[in-house]
Amino acid sequence: MDSQPYGTPITDLDEGAESPFLKVADLKNQDMTVTIRRVEKQTLGRGAKAEQKLVVFFDEFQKGMVLNVTNRNTIKDLYGSTVAGFIGKRITIWPKPDVEYEGRIKPGLRIRPNIPTGTPVPRQAAAPKLANTAFQSLVMELILEKVNGDMTLFEDELFRRTGTRTIADVDDALALEVAQKIKAGG
């Protein structure tokens, strides 16, 4: 009797464990110097185990890295605790083979405690997501006017005013408030 598999055979159990967050395997066993794009607070886990965690995103990856206390403190030691002070700054993440997590020793991500040297790769401003509402369009026009059409400055100014770098993530109430402040000269 010929047996047919019902799925795709795998060679490693981590292959089937895709995660929306960076893992040791994503670094391919090497240090990686990355540029901080943004930091978000996200709810991780479900039900009684749900917790608010900080997640840092980098220009070089789509996935974010959940910041544990050790890595958060390393960033603070390097650049301070104000998020705006380290956006666009570089850090080196590395796969540490022996991190204690939930009572077990396993590989984990760590941040090197020194500022990377060398020539940084210039940041390229991503094309903004299109505005979905008239209020978002108004904010986008006002900020672009304020920064003379420079998309990198647009992203930074939008983040300064709203905490996000994507206009589509700004709800109408916040968009209206920001538009009114800009028009009033603020």
pTM (two decimals): 0.57
pLDDT on residue 178: 77
Domain annotation covers residue 171: yes
pLDDT tier at 127 (50, 70, 90 boundaries)? very low
Of 90 and 127, which is predicted with more confidence? 90
28-42, 57-71, 136-150: range with lowest mean pLDDT: 136-150
Mean pLDDT over each residue of the chain, to the nearest integer: 79
For 97-119, write each residue's pLDDT tens digit: 988 877 889 899 999 999 998 75
Number of domains, the chain: 2
Q: Which of 60, 57, 55 is nearest to 32 (CA)?
A: 60
Do 58 and 139 sit in the same domain of this protein?
no
Do 83 and 38 sit in the same domain of this protein?
yes
In the chain, where does DSSP find H-type helix? 69-79, 134-146, 151-162, 172-183
Domain annotation covers residue 91: yes
Do 49 and 80 sit in the same domain of this protein?
yes
Do 19 and 107 sit in the same domain of this protein?
yes
Residue 122 has pLDDT above 60, yes or no: no
Residue 44 has pLDDT above 60, yes or no: yes
Do 146 and 100 sit in the same domain of this protein?
no
Mean pLDDT of 71-99: 90
Q: Rounded to an integer, what is the distance from CA 117 to the centroid of its chain? A: 22
Do 103 and 20 sit in the same domain of this protein?
yes
